[in-house]
Amino acid sequence: MKTLLATTGNGLVRATCSIGTAWSVEQHLPNMVVRCLATVPSAHTSVFAGTHGDGVLRSDDGGKSWRSSGLAGQIITALATSPSAPDTIYAGTKPACLFVSHDAGAHWAELGAFRHIPGRRFWWSPAEPPFRAYVQAIAVSPTDAQHLLIGIEVGAVVQSRDGGRSWAGHCQGALRDCHSLTFHTTNNSWIYEAGGSGAGVAVSRDAGATWKQPKAHLDHHYGWAVAADPARPEVWYASVSPSPWKAHGERNAQASIVRSIGGGPWEALRGGLPQPLLAMPYALFTDPATPGDLYAGLSNGEVWQGSNYGDQWCQLPVQLGRIARTLIAL
């Protein structure tokens, strides 16, 4: 891991580690609200950014320079690229609409059927005036670019198996207040969710057909980020807090990073992590090259690395200032 990109609420921060453990930090896209980021799996320096009103931006040099890549005027709240079809990109917006590009962002088309999902009239969001629901998360199967799930803030988790041409209603058992949603890196059967309703976490082990909300030993039920080990899909992690007011407040998140193994009860990870975490872990991610490792980006700009499936932790010698929602590694 040599480059980190994070949304800060006012542009981006880019951190690079080029010599030993020395990091350099740069600010990019000042005075622009960047809400989400997505990488292109087959091109490690290609990144897409979703903005609040300026559409999609693209960088082909790891975030050093950016250019417009369509959907001007749209509020882009979620982006995802397809691992099996790298030129296919999905973009979700506020209000809740969905767009797709099959040529790496050169052209976009709205997936109109998304506007007619059963139960859509009940979607709404308490998070942002004027309280209209929006796409919070997009998960694309690692093996099938036509299979995707969309998480709504707040309303539903919905699924399409034909690239968005048709949709079913809410996946029963998934969390209607979705914050994070992802497939396992290689195993199409496993899908993980963190959210603000029910248990705070949900999982499907059969490619989205059925869902469970495992609660055993989970003390907090406001979930935000979720990740899974790249080699062992039964090992997964979530960041949780007692409430949205704690999670998104100032320096008192009372948060934990928790782990479940093989369907077993949740356990809070310690091994060097502050207890509790006063800054919310807004980002969790793993590295396919190093199974057993886990990275966490905190709202205060700290980045932590966990090893041995989160049993030992150390803080990386880099300070990003703030992480508003998204942290990715290139």
Query: Within a domain: residue 32?
Result: no
Amino acid at 189: S
Query: Within a domain: residue 3?
Result: no
Query: Within a domain: residue 109?
Result: yes
What pLDDT shows up at residue 1? 64
Return d(Cα 119, Cα 280) in angstroms, integer.
Answer: 32
The terminus-to-terminus CA distance of the chain in angstroms comes to 6
In order, the DSSP letters of 162-221 are: STTSS--S--TTS-SSEEEEEE-SS-TT-EEEEESSTTSEEEESSTTSS-B---TT----
pLDDT > 90 in the chain, percent: 88
pTM of the model: 0.95
Query: Within a domain: residue 49?
Result: no
Query: Within a domain: residue 20?
Result: no
What pLDDT shows up at residue 41? 76
- For the residues 133-155, what does the mean pLDDT come to? 96
Higher pLDDT, 147 or 198: 147
224-281 confidence digits (pLDDT tens): 999 999 999 999 999 999 999 999 998 899 999 999 999 999 999 999 999 999 999 9
Query: Within a domain: residue 151?
Result: yes
Domain span holding position 269: 76-316
What pLDDT shows up at residue 21? 74
CATH number at residue 164: 2.130.10.10
Does 43 score more than 80 pLDDT? no
92-127 confidence digits (pLDDT tens): 999 999 999 999 999 999 999 999 998 999 998 887
What pLDDT shows up at residue 64? 94
Does 20 score more than 90 pLDDT? no
Q: How many domains does the chain have?
A: 1
Please provide the size of the chain in residues: 330
Mean pLDDT of the chain: 94
Write the CB contacts of 121 (distance below 8 Å, at least 6 apart in sequence): none
What pLDDT shows up at residue 299? 97
Query: Within a domain: residue 60?
Result: no
Query: Within a domain: residue 50?
Result: no
